[in-house]
C-alpha cells in the first residue's frame, strides 16, 4: 500500500496512468496491489467491463458506499438495477431537448465572458502573454458545473456570471459557508486516491495521513465541505418541491415516483447520488470539451474540417448552436470521441473483482477467484492492434461507418465504462459537450501560446488538464459570408 500510494502521489513529468501504460507495453499484466492486476491489451476491457463479464465492483466501491450509495459505488447488482430504474427515464435521450435550454443559457453566458477577453486577430507564430486572456480549462469547468447543476437540480449557481465556483449556504446550525465546488471536489480526490484501494486498512491510513500530512488534512476537510454544500443544495431542492414547484430535472425521481409517492431512497443515498451527478457531471464534460478544443486548435486541419461541417447547417442567427441541428453531425461527434479516446476524463484503472469460487479468463489469462482486475481507459484506447497510430489525434478514424475496424474500436472504447455499469449520464454529457464545442468553433478563432505547446495534467481518480491559455477573437464577417456563399 505504501508503494502504491507513493506511486500515485509522487511528482513526475508524466501522470500515473501513463507510467503504468508504458510499463504495460513490456509486461501485458502487472500486479499493482496486493490482490490487484492491471492489464495492457484492449481485449481486457471487454472481459472486465463488457455485458458478458461476471466481474463485480471491487471492495473500494463498498468503502465509498458507506458514505451513501450511488450508481457509481453500488456493488450489489440487483440493488444497482433497481436504483438505475428509478432514475433511468430522466436520463433517456428523449429528454435531451428538455436539457438544451439550460445548456444554451450557460453557453450564452460563457460567450459573454469570452467576448470580454477577445483580442485583435493576428498571424504571428508566438502569441504575446497579455493576449492569452482566456483560460479554456478554467472557464469550461465553470460552464460544465453550472450547466449540470441546472439539469440536475434546476439551480443556477451563477458560476459563469461571477467568474468563480463558490457555493454559499448555511448549515443546520446557522453557520455560513462559502465552498468552491470544483476545487473542493478535486481536493478530496487528491486525498483519497492514494489510500482508498487498501480497503481493510483505509481507516488507519486516513488517520495517519491526517496526523502527519497537513496537505492531506486540508484536502480531506475540503471534501467534507463539498459534501456539506451538496447536502445543502439537495435540501433546498426538496423544499422547492414541497412548496409546489414542478421541476423536470434529474433530482425529481429521487424525490417522488411516477405515482406521486415519496421515492424509495434514503436521504443519505439521495445526497450521494446528487454528489456523484454533480462531481462526475462536471469533470466528464469539462475535461472532454477542454481536450477537444485543445486538439482542434493544435491541429488546424481538424478545426477547419469541423467548422466546414458546422457551416453547412448553422446560420448567423444561431447565436448558440441548436442541438437539433448538430445532434447527427458525424465529424463533430468524431472530434469529441477522439478527444475522449486520447484523454479520457476517467483515465485511471476502474477496479473490478472476479467472481468467487471460479476462475475467469481475461485476455487469455486464467485469473483466480476474488482477484481485483482492471485496465485503464488510457491504455485500452491506445492498443495499436485496434487503434492505428494510437497517439495521433485523428477524428476520421470514427467515420468508417459499418466497418469491422469501427466495431472493434467501439467494443473497447470505455470513456463511460461499459456494460450494465456504463455511465447513465452519457446522454447528458454529450449535449453539454456538443452544444458548447460547436458554438465555440463556429463563432471564435483561437491560438495557443506557440506552435508545439502541450497540455499538462493532474491525475487522481480523474484526469484534469491544468490550464488552456488561449488567445481568442471573434470570427470575421467575411468568413461567414464565404461559407454561406460556397
pLDDT tens column, 14-56 = 788 999 999 999 999 999 888 899 999 999 999 999 989 999 8
pLDDT band at 388 (very low <50, low <70, confident <90, very high): very high
- Distance (Å, whole) CA 38 – CA 29: 6
Give me 485's grid cell.
Answer: 456563399
Residue 460, C-beta contacts closer than 8 angstroms, at least 6 positions apart: 8, 186, 189, 190, 192, 193, 348
**What range defines the domain where residue 35 resides?**
2-485
The domain that holds 169 is classified in CATH as 1.10.630.10
Report the share of the chain in percent with pLDDT over 90.
74
Pick from 204, 249, 242, 267: nearest CA to 69: 267
Task: Quote the CA–CA distance of 386 and 410 in Å, as a whole number.
Answer: 10
Question: What single-letter DSSP state applies at residue 115?
Answer: H
Q: What is the pLDDT of residues 449-462, one digit of tens each?
A: 998 899 999 998 89
Check pLDDT > 70 for residue 11. no
d(CA 469, CA 453): 10
Total structural domains within the chain: 1
Known binding residues: 423
Cell digits for 139?
Answer: 472557464
Task: Give 450's DSSP letter.
Answer: B
Q: What is the pLDDT of residue 406?
A: 95
Average pLDDT over residues 240-262: 91
Work out the pLDDT band at 168, boundaries 50, 70, 90.
Answer: very high
Long-range contacts of 316-322 (CB under 8 A, 24+ apart): 316/480, 318/442, 319/108, 319/111, 320/104, 320/107, 320/108, 320/111, 320/435, 320/439, 321/107, 321/434, 321/435, 321/438, 321/439, 321/442, 322/100, 322/104
Tell me the pLDDT tens digit for each residue of 321-357: 999 999 999 999 999 999 999 999 998 898 999 999 8
Instruction: Work out the number of other CB atoms within 10 angstroms of the CB of residue 267.
Output: 13
Annotated binding residues for heme, written as ranges, equal 423
- Which secondary-structure segment (H or E) carries 342? helix 330-342
The answer to whether the CB of 57 falls within 8 A of the CB of 73 is yes
**pTM of the entire predicted model:** 0.95
Amino acid at each position: 500500500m505504501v508503494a502504491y500510494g507513493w506511486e500515485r502521489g509522487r511528482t513526475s513529468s508524466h501522470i500515473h496512468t501513463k507510467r503504468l501504460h508504458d510499463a504495460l507495453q513490456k509486461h501485458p499484466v502487472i500486479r499493482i496491489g496486493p490482490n490487484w492486476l492491471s492489464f495492457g491489451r484492449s481485449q481486457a476491457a471487454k472481459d472486465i467491463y463488457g455485458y458478458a463479464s461476471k466481474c463485480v465492483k471491487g471492495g473500494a466501491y463498498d468503502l465509498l458506499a458507506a458514505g451513501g450509495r450511488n450508481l457509481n459505488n453500488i456493488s450489489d447488482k440487483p440493488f444497482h438495477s433497481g436504483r438505475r430504474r428509478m432514475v433511468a427515464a430522466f436520463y433517456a435521450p428523449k429528454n435531451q431537448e428538455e436539457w438544451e435550454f439550460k445548456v444554451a443559457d450557460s453557453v450564452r453566458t460563457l460567450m459573454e465572458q469570452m467576448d470580454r477577453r477577445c483580442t485583435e486577430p493576428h498571424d504571428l507564430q508566438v502569441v504575446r502573454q497579455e493576449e492569452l486572456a482566456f483560460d479554456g480549462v478554467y472557464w469550461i469547468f465553470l460552464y460544465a458545473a453550472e450547466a449540470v447543476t441546472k439539469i440536475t437540480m434546476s439551480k443556477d449557481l451563477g458560476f459563469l456570471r461571477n467568474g468563480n465556483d463558490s457555493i454559499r449556504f448555511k448549515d443546520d446550525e446557522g453557520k455560513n459557508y462559502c465552498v468552491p465546488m470544483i476545487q473542493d471536489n478535486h481536493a478530496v480526490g487528491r486525498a483519497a486516491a492514494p489510500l482508498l484501494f487498501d480497503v481493510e486498512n483505509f481507516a488507519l491510513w486516513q488517520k495517519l495521513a491526517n496526523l502527519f500530512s497537513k496537505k492531506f488534512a486540508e484536502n480531506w476537510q475540503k471534501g467534507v465541505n463539498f459534501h456539506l454544500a451538496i447536502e445543502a443544495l439537495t435540501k433546498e431542492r426538496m423544499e422547492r418541491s414541497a412548496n409546489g414547484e414542478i421541476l423536470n430535472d434529474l433530482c425529481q425521481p429521487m424525490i417522488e415516483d411516477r405515482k406521486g409517492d415519496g421515492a424509495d431512497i434514503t436521504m443519505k443515498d439521495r445526497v450521494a447520488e446528487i454528489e456523484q451527478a454533480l462531481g462526475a457531471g462536471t469533470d466528464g464534460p469539462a475535461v472532454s470539451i477542454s481536450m477537444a478544443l485543445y486538439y482542434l486548435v493544435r491541429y488546424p486541419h481538424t478545426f477547419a474540417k469541423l467548422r466546414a461541417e458546422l457551416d453547412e447547417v448553422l446560420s448567423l442567427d444561431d447565436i448558440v448552436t441548436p442541438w437539433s441541428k448538430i445532434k447527427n453531425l458525424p465529424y463533430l461527434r468524431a472530434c469529441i470521441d477522439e478527444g475522449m479516446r486520447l484523454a479520457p476524463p476517467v483515465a485511471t484503472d476502474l477496479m473490478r473483482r472476479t467472481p468467487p469460487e471460479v476462475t475467469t479468463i481475461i485476455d487469455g489469462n486464467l485469473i483466480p477467484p476474488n482477484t481485483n482486475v482492471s485496465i485503464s481507459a488510457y491504455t485500452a484506447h491506445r492498443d495499436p492492434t485496434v487503434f492505428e497510430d494510437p497517439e495521433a489525434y485523428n477524428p476520421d478514424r470514427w467515420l468508417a461507418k459499418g466497418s469491422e475496424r469501427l466495431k472493434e474500436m467501439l467494443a473497447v472504447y470505455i470513456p463511460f465504462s461499459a456494460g450494465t455499469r456504463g455511465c447513465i449520464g452519457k446522454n447528458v454529457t454529450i449535449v453539454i459537450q456538443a452544444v458548447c464545442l460547436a458554438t465555440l468553433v463556429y463563432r471564435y478563432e483561437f491560438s495557443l501560446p506557440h506552435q508545439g505547446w502541450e497540455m499538462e495534467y493532474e491525475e487522481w481518480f480523474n484526469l484534469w488538464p491544468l490550464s488552456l491559455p488561449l488567445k481568442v477573437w471573434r470570427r470575421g464577417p467575411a468568413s461567414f459570408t464565404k461559407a454561406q456563399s460556397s
